[in-house]
Amino acid sequence: MTVKPMVPFALVLEFRSGKLEPHTSRIVRRVSDLRGAFADSAALEALVKDGDPVVYEVLQYDVPEETGQLICCTTVLHSGSVGDEYFMTKGHYHAVRDTAEVYLGLSGQGYLLLMTEEGGISAMPMSAGTVAYVPPRWAHRTVNTGEEPFVFFAVYPGQAGHDYGAIQESGFNQRVRRGTDAPVLR
């Protein structure tokens, strides 16, 4: 496939807030969008009734979703928990499994959880300056274990796509909960 010529562009990214200007799409995920993801569904429904807070936002400057392109976005994952489980993203495999992704931590702190369909498991702590590599075939989900927003930048191939369904069906093989002194990963 030939990529159509495009005009080069530059964006401005504010590390602290994750603000990306300009952006052409903004995805907002609230607690109600994460039904089934958290272990404590009663706590989730209570939060939904109590204003349905935003869990995370993704800002992106869209480019064509095709081979040869690279999609860049920032995610702002807010601080909070559902029961004792920290706020997290839905998590996904790439629809095209043979595509990788690079994450760069900008502010706050959390975990990058990864798994494969064959039972592979990995968890990486992330904070400002962490560059994390998500190899092809690894599902990925981020978790905010701090009191501030956890902000990171991501770059992935244009054709990758998102497969959320596989995670909704299988769940993730790790959870991160509030412990007495530190986050507990299980």
Q: Which residues bind Fe ion (CB under 5 A)?
A: 101
Of 48 and 100, which CB lies nearer to Fe ion in the complex structure?
100
What are the counts of helices (DSSP H) followed by strands (DSSP E) for the chain?
Answer: 2, 15
CA proximity to 153, closest of 58, 54, 78: 58
- Closest approach of Fe ion to the CB of residue 73, in Å: 9
Of 141 and 175, which CB lies nearer to Fe ion in the complex structure?
141
How far is residue 151's CA from residue 19's CA, in Å, rounded to a whole number?
Answer: 10
Residue number, nearest CB to Fe ion: 101
- Closest approach of Fe ion to the CB of residue 42, in Å: 30
Of 120 and 179, which CB lies nearer to Fe ion in the complex structure?
120
**Whole-number Cα distances in Å, 48 to 51, 64, 83, 178:** 6, 35, 13, 20
- Closest approach of Fe ion to the CB of residue 101, in Å: 5
81: β partners: 86
Instruction: Kindly give, in sequence order, each residue whose CB lies less than 8 Å from that of residue 97, ignoring residues fewer than 6 positions away.
Output: 136, 137
Of 85 and 101, which CB lies nearer to Fe ion in the complex structure?
101
- Closest approach of Fe ion to the CB of residue 99, in Å: 8
